[in-house]
């Protein structure tokens, strides 16, 4: 039996095109060929289970090997094999009815994943690295003859009698000159580790040496010897393929360690498992996030039937969950088409929603199960939750039940709880409830204390995401406003009708203003005289809430760049009702007035942490003199 023929495609020069397009990603030839070997092995196993194959299955390990001298790489399987007829059918008449379309459509493609597979090109990816490919196969079917197929990358092939004596297939690649880098143990090991680590059929790549015990020596010490054992690439049943009820915490933790050897233990995880309306399994882990900018994206690995595809899961996983770690496996994600297609795909949108929902459910469950434990984890998960609520409407809807607010006393409240707590006392004359917050509890301590003195509660909002989260909260919570605790004097943060009247006359007020403007002598500070509680400080320095917030957002990339470029502007509130102000007015000389005004202004700066350097030294000197 010998036959020559032409591969039935419309475009003569398909191989050069494949080669050119796919060059950057050419290592995936191994993924494709090993996957085919695995498919063939699973098929024979299924036939055996169905009773359609009654022979011995034997050792079904798939073997990858290479020969540096002959410049070949071989992938051997003991799968169902192919007859000559089948080779012609499956390999030659590849799904190239659309070859012309293919060439047209992907002329400008940059990414191999965009084309491989979609046009049934899996097997042909071999030609990215080989000038000639041989298939040596023996079908499982009774009475089959071994068949050998050779193709040199042109559109002609040769089929002849083969020499395989065992069921299965060898794919032999004669590596081309530009691809000789693949004729290397570590190179191949690396590619197999990347793509084949969790394939469902055992994959062997040569041997490796291992130390084993070898009796004891004369002194009774253990002896060791080195032996060669099979170098097995993969774990055939990774945990995401198992049922959650069969798994313990240790299993999840050790799988995590296997995926990310350098990482700390995760906080918790979610086992994904759905088969309708799409098929998806996986395990997502919540990592420990040390600080807001510490998280790394692209840590989720995407698999399709246990074959590694990519770690770029953008579009499939919602943006805010890109900080999660773990594995997603779905045969229903159209991996082989371009990004824009991916976004438009109905399944992808559904998968995205499903993952969002699962994560929200898990958080809700953790919250309900043990509030205390949940609160302890809040420092780590707060970021996810807030980020999620800001960026995903659906998640925000669910998140409002388990997002927590923390106050300066370290107490946690849900949104409804907090509203209930502060609504009475922190509602102003316009029926707006004012939530107060601090971004730095140390620096703003004076203001926090003033607020607490009035029985106001102060939240801690000290993470960069908080400036955005505050904005979100104001949009969602009815009749609610957030103000940083130092946005104004405590008296004025929440304006009620029972404000103190300014006891100074208009003339006196003008005079006080003059004295302070002279003492401060800086245009960035605008002086205002107010009627405040005589118990409060005589002078307070604040920054307008709106201005400050815009500046904060500019600093964390919230698109408020313009505000970031403005100089800081402060308001100096003089408490007209304080005895010190009275004292300043009554001081004997103008010089004395300026000194006292300067002193009380510096005290206000000091309380805000704004007094530094030379000004601070001068203040200390002046204070000493005054004692």
Task: Report how far residue 465's alpha carbon sits from residue 477's, in angstroms, rounded to the nearest whole number.
Answer: 18
DSSP characters over 63-126:
EEEEETTTTEEEEEE-S----HHHIIIIIIT-S-TTHHHHHHHTTT---GGGTTTTTS-TGGGG
Number of residues that bind ligand ADP (CB under 6 A): 13
Partners of residue 3 on adjacent β-strands: 159
Number of residues that bind Mg ion (CB under 5 A): 2
Q: Is 30 in the site for ligand ADP (CB under 6 A)?
A: no
Residue of the chain from 36, 281, 330, 426 that contacts ligand ADP (CB under 6 A): 36
Q: Is 153 in the site for Mg ion (CB under 5 A)?
A: no
> Closest approach of Cβ 123 to Mg ion, in Å?
6
Query: Which of 187, 185, 148 shows the shortest CA–CA distance to 170?
Result: 148
First-to-last alpha carbon distance for the chain, in angstroms, is 114
Closest residue to ligand ADP in the complex (CB): 122
Query: Which of 242, 239, 261 shows the shortest CA–CA distance to 251?
Result: 239
> Closest approach of Cβ 36 to Mg ion, in Å?
4
Cβ distance to Mg ion smaller for residue 63 or 602: 63
The one segment of 36-44, 256-264, 323-331, 523-531 that binds Mg ion by CB under 5 A: 36-44
List Cα–Cα distances, 208 to 68, 184, 186, in angstroms. Answer: 18, 15, 12
37: partner contacted, choices ligand ADP, Mg ion, none (Cβ within 5-8 A by kind): ligand ADP
Q: Is 200 in the site for ligand ADP (CB under 6 A)?
A: no
Q: Check residue 73 and give left, alpha or beta (phi > 0: left; psi -120 to 50: alpha).
A: beta
DSSP characters over 187-249:
HHHHHHHHHHTT-SS-EEEEEEEEEEEEEE-TTS-EEEEEEEEEEE---SS-GGGS-GGG--H
169: partner contacted, choices ligand ADP, Mg ion, none (Cβ within 5-8 A by kind): ligand ADP
Residue of the chain from 7, 30, 34, 37 that contacts ligand ADP (CB under 6 A): 37
Residue of the chain from 26, 36, 41, 336 that contacts Mg ion (CB under 5 A): 36
Give CA torsion, residues 32, 34, 40, 44, to 10 deg. Answer: -160
Using an 8 Å Cβ cutoff, are 159 and 90 in contact?
no
> Closest approach of Cβ 168 to ligand ADP, in Å?
7
What mask of x and - would describe binding to Mg ion in positions 84 to 123, judged by CB under 5 A?
Answer: --------------------------------------x-
Residues 81-110 that bind ligand ADP (CB under 6 A): 82, 90-91
> Closest approach of Cβ 115 to ligand ADP, in Å?
12
Taking each helix axis from N to C terminus, what angle separates 545-555 and 466-476, rounded to the nearest 10 degrees? 130
Residue of the chain from 77, 457, 491, 530 that contacts ligand ADP (CB under 6 A): 77
Cβ distance to ligand ADP smaller for residue 170 or 552: 170
For residue 241, what are its two tokens?
Answer: 């393929």
90: partner contacted, choices Mg ion, ligand ADP, none (Cβ within 5-8 A by kind): ligand ADP
Cβ distance to ligand ADP smaller for residue 116 or 539: 116
The one segment of 30-38, 421-429, 454-462, 523-531 that binds ligand ADP by CB under 6 A: 30-38
Cβ distance to ligand ADP smaller for residue 201 or 553: 201
Q: Is 123 in the site for ligand ADP (CB under 6 A)?
A: yes
Cβ distance to ligand ADP smaller for residue 90 or 224: 90
Residues 137-196 that bind ligand ADP (CB under 6 A): 169
For residue 242, what are its two tokens?
Answer: 């198992």
* Omega cis (within 30) before 200: no
Using an 8 Å Cβ cutoff, are 112 and 25 in contact?
yes
> Closest approach of Cβ 343 to Mg ion, in Å?
26
Neighbour tally for 364: CB within 10 Å: 15
Footprint of Mg ion (CB under 5 A): 36, 122
Footprint of ligand ADP (CB under 6 A): 32, 36-37, 40, 77, 79, 82, 90-91, 120, 122-123, 169
């Amino acid at each position: 039996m010998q036959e020559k023929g032409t591969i039935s495609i419309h475009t003569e020069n398909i191989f050069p095109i494949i080669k050119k397009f796919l060059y950057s990603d050419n290592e995936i030839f191994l993924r494709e060929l090993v996957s085919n070997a695995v498919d063939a092995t699973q098929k024979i196993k299924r036939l055996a289970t169905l009773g359609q194959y009654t022979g011995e299955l034997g050792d079904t390990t798939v073997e990858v090997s290479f020969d540096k001298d002959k410049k070949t790489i071989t992938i051997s399987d003991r799968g169902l094999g192919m007859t000559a007829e089948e080779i012609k059918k499956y390999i030659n008449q590849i799904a190239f009815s659309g070859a012309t379309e293919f060439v047209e459509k992907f002329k400008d493609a940059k990414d191999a994943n965009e084309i491989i597979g979609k046009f049934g090109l899996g097997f042909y990816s071999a030609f990215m690295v080989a000038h000639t490919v041989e298939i040596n196969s023996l079908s499982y079917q009774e009475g089959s003859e071994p068949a050998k197929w050779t193709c040199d990358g042109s559109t002609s092939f040769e089929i002849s009698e083969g020499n395989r004596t065992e069921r299965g297939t060898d794919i032999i690649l004669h590596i081309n000159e530009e691809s000789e880098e693949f004729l290397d143990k570590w190179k191949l090991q690396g590619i197999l580790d990347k793509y084949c680590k969790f394939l469902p059929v055992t994959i062997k790549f040569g041997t490796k040496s291992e130390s084993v015990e070898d009796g004891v020596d004369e002194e009774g010490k253990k002896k060791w010897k080195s032996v060669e054992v099979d170098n097995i690439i993969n774990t055939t049943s990774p945990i995401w393929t198992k049922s959650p009820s069969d798994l313990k915490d240790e299993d999840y933790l050790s799988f995590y360690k296997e995926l990310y050897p350098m990482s700390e233990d995760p906080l918790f995880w979610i086992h994904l498992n759905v088969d309708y309306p799409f098929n998806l399994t996986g395990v997502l882990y919540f990592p420990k996030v040390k600080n807001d900018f510490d998280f790394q994206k692209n840590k989720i690995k995407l698999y399709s039937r246990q074959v590694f595809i990519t770690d770029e899961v953008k579009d499939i996983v919602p943006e805010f969950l890109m900080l999660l770690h773990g594995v997603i496996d779905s045969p229903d994600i159209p991996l082989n088409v371009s990004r824009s297609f991916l976004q438009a795909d109905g399944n992808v949108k559904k998968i995205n929603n499903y993952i969002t929902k699962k994560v929200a459910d898990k958080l809700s469950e953790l919250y309900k199960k043990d509030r205390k434990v949940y609160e302890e984890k809040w420092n780590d998960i707060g970021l996810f939750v807030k980020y999620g609520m800001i960026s995903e409407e659906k998640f925000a809807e669910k998140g409002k039940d388990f997002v927590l607010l923390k106050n300066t006393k370290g107490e946690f409240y849900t949104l409804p709880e907090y509203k209930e707590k502060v609504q009475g006392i922190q509602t102003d004359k316009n029926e707006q409830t004012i939530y107060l917050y601090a971004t730095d509890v140390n620096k703003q301590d004076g203001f926090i204390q003033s607020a607490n003195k009035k029985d106001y509660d102060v939240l801690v909002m000290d993470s960069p995401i908080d400036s955005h989260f505050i904005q979100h909260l104001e949009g969602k919570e009815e009749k609610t406003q957030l103000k940083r605790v130092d946005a104004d004097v405590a008296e004025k943060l929440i304006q009620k009708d029972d404000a103190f009247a300014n006891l100074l006359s208009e003339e006196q007020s003008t005079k006080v203003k003059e004295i302070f403007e002279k003492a401060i002598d800086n245009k960035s500070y605008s002086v205002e005289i107010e009627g405040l509680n005589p118990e409060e400080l005589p002078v307070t320095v604040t920054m307008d809430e709106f201005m400050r917030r815009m500046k904060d957002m500019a600093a964390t990339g919230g698109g408020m760049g313009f505000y970031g470029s403005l100089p800081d502007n402060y308001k100096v509130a003089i408490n007209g009702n304080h005895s010190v102000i009275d004292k300043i007015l009554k001081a004997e000389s103008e010089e004395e007035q300026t000194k006292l005004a300067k002193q009380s202004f510096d005290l206000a700066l000091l309380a805000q942490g704004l007094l530094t350097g030379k000004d601070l030294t001068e203040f200390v000197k002046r204070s000493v003199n005054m004692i």
